[in-house]
Amino acid sequence: MSTSTQDVEVGGLSEPILLTPPPLSSFEAPFRGVVPVLKSLLSLIFWLITELLLLPVNIILLPFSMCCGPRYKGVTPAELRRASVINNVSQIKPAVDSLKHAFRSGATRSHAWREQQILAILALVKENEDAILSAYSSDIGKPKCDWFLEKQAILGDANHMVVHLRELMQIEKRSIPLWMLPGSTYIVKEPLGTALVIGPYNYPMNLCLCPIIAAVAAGCNVVLKPSEQMPASEQLLAELLPKYMDPAAVLVVTGGVPETTALLEEKWDKIFFTGSERVASIIERKVAGSLTPLTLELGGKSPVVVDKSANFTVAARRILQGKFINAGATCIAPDYVLVEEGEAEQKLVAALKQVTLKMFGEDPQKSEFYCRVLNKMHMDRLEGYLADAKKKGAKVAAGGQTDAADRYFAPTILTDCDASMDCMQEEIFGPILPIVTVSSAEAAIDFVLSKPKPLGAYLFSSSWKVQRAFQSKVSSGGMCINDATVHVLGTDIPFGGVGPAGMGSYHGREGFNCFSHCKSVYSHDTMTDGLTWFRYLPFTGFTETVMGLVMGKSW
Ligand SMILES: *[C@@H]1O[C@H](CO)[C@@H](O)[C@H](O)[C@H]1NC(C)=O
Ligand SMILES: *[C@@H]1O[C@H](CO)[C@@H](O)[C@H](O)[C@H]1NC(C)=O
Per annotation, catalytic residue among 115, 259, 266, 297: 297
Would you give the distance in Å from CA 74 to the centre of its chain?
A: 31
Query: Do 112 and 159 have their domain in common?
Result: yes
Structural domain containing residue 279: 78-298+509-514
Helix (H) or strand (E) holding 414: strand 412-415
Atom of ligand 1 lying closest to residue 91 CA: 2
Q: Residue type at 514? A: C
Q: What's the pLDDT at 70?
A: 55
The strands making up 183-191's β-sheet, listed across from edge to edge, are: 172-174, 183-191, 516-524
Residue 376 within a domain: yes
Query: Do 282 and 418 have their domain in common?
Result: no
- What is the helix, strand, coil percentage profile of the chain, to 5? 50, 20, 30
> Which phi and psi (to 5°) does residue 500 adopt?
-70, -10
Q: Are 503 and 294 in contact (CB under 8 A)?
A: yes
Predicted TM-score (pTM) of this structure: 0.85
Query: Do 309 and 286 have their domain in common?
Result: no
Query: Do 293 and 319 have their domain in common?
Result: no
Q: What's the pLDDT at 86?
A: 78
For the Cβ of 88 lying below 6 angstroms from any atom of ligand 1, the answer is yes
Q: What CATH number does residue 282 fall under?
A: 3.40.605.10
Query: Do 112 and 222 have their domain in common?
Result: yes
Query: Do 492 and 424 have their domain in common?
Result: yes
Query: Do 211 and 87 have their domain in common?
Result: yes
Q: What CATH number does residue 321 fall under?
A: 3.40.309.10
* DSSP SS3 for 393: coil
Residue 71 within a domain: no
Residue 173 within a domain: yes
Query: Do 288 and 346 have their domain in common?
Result: no
Residue 533 within a domain: no
Q: Are 305 and 335 in contact (CB under 8 A)?
A: no
Could you give the CA distance from residue 543 to residue 555 in angstroms, rounded to a whole number?
A: 19
Would you give the distance in Å from CA 301 to the centre of its chain?
A: 16
Q: Are 441 and 465 in contact (CB under 8 A)?
A: no
Query: Do 360 and 478 have their domain in common?
Result: yes
Could you give the CA distance from residue 502 to residue 279 in angstroms, rounded to a whole number?
A: 12
Could you give the CA distance from residue 15 to residue 32 in angstroms, rounded to a whole number?
A: 27
Q: What's the pLDDT at 498?
A: 95
395 DSSP β-pair partners: 415
Angle at 94 between CA 89 and CA 96, to 5 degrees: 85
Residue 271: Cβ within 10 Å count = 23
Helix (H) or strand (E) holding 282: helix 277-287
Report residues whose beta carbon is within 6 angstroms of any ligand 2 atom.
Answer: 311, 313-314
Domain total in the chain: 2
End-to-end CA distance of the chain: 23
Query: Do 256 and 390 have their domain in common?
Result: no
Query: Do 256 and 312 have their domain in common?
Result: no
- CA dihedral sign of residues 261, 262, 268, 272: negative
- Whether the bond between 538 and the residue before it is cis, its omega within 30 degrees of 0, is yes
Residue 18 within a domain: no
Query: Do 146 and 159 have their domain in common?
Result: yes
Nearest CA owner, ligand 1 atom 14: 88
Q: Are 197 and 222 in contact (CB under 8 A)?
A: yes
Residue 551 within a domain: no
223 DSSP β-pair partners: 196, 251
**Catalytic annotation present for 167:** no
- How are beta strands 495-496 and 412-415 bridged, if at all? unpaired
* DSSP SS3 for 413: strand
Nearest CA owner, ligand 2 atom 3: 314
For the Cβ of 346 lying below 6 angstroms from any atom of ligand 1, the answer is no
Residue 47 within a domain: no
Residue 338: name the closest of 361, 319, 318 by CA.
319
| Centre of ligand 1 from the C-alpha of residue 444, in Å | 57
Q: For each of the chain's 555 residues, which pLDDT tens digit applies?
A: 344 444 444 444 444 444 444 444 444 444 456 766 787 788 788 888 888 888 888 788 776 655 545 555 555 555 455 556 777 888 899 889 989 999 999 999 999 999 999 999 999 999 999 999 999 999 999 999 999 999 999 999 999 999 999 999 999 999 888 888 889 999 999 999 999 999 999 999 999 999 999 999 999 999 999 999 999 999 999 999 998 999 889 999 999 999 999 999 999 999 999 999 999 999 999 999 999 999 999 999 999 999 999 999 999 999 999 999 999 999 999 999 999 999 999 999 999 999 999 999 999 999 999 999 999 999 999 999 999 999 999 999 999 999 999 999 999 999 999 999 999 999 999 999 999 999 999 999 999 999 999 999 999 999 999 999 999 999 999 999 999 999 999 989 999 999 999 999 999 999 999 999 999 999 998 998 988 888 898 989 999 898 888 887 766
Residue 540 within a domain: no
